[in-house]
Amino acid sequence: MAVLKFNNKAPKIGESVYIDDSAVVIGDVSIGDDVSIWPTSVLRGDVESIAIGAGTNIQDGSVLHVSHATPFSEKSYPLVIGKGVTIGHRAVIHACTIGDYCLVGMGSIIMDDAVIEDYVMLGAGSLVPSGKRLETGHLYVGAPARRIRPLKDSEREFLEYSYQHYIKLKNQYL
């Protein structure tokens, strides 16, 4: 695995974390306990910080990055991901905030300054535009993402199952 400093900032890695050998973690990145980062994922905290909560899993080929202040945007944007989040394969997560116990479907893109509240399911291939807020307890799909309906009880249970499954799986890899 490549865990690299950038501008004298080194990633901070919690207890019982699995980072695949082909993953890259750079700079100001804080990774909570029981997190898993799967093959070919890239977490680049070079121009702002990335914080990942306990029990979250970042699946294969995902790209996590941040935004800096520019003449076109006065504000920089970190990336904050809550606890128990499942980030599906090949997702692009950019300078946004994701609450606790969410699922980001495979191939989804979440843009700068978007906010996904707790207990949200985002369908595969969805696009969350800059500045959009997805409200707690709903299913969203599409490009741009739109609210479809409240989550069913079984879907809320699946959100819990998913992150717990990945904790068990990463423990086998460890």
Chain segment 125-172, per-residue pLDDT in tens: 999 999 999 999 999 999 999 999 999 999 999 999 999 999 999 999
pTM for the structure as a whole: 0.96
Does the pLDDT value for residue 1 go beyond 80? no
Residues with Cβ < 8 Å from 161, sequence gap 6 or more?
none
pLDDT of residue 73: 84
Percentages of the chain per state (helix, strand, coil), in multiples of 5: 10, 40, 50
pLDDT of residue 74: 87
Domain boundaries, the chain: 2-172
Tokens of 52: 């990942």
Q: Which CATH class is domain 2-172?
A: mainly beta
pLDDT of residue 37: 98
Chain segment 99-134, per-residue pLDDT in tens: 999 999 999 999 999 999 999 999 999 999 999 999
State the pLDDT confidence band at 72, using cuts at 50, 70 and 90: confident
User: How far does Cα 4 stand from its chain's mean position?
Assistant: 19
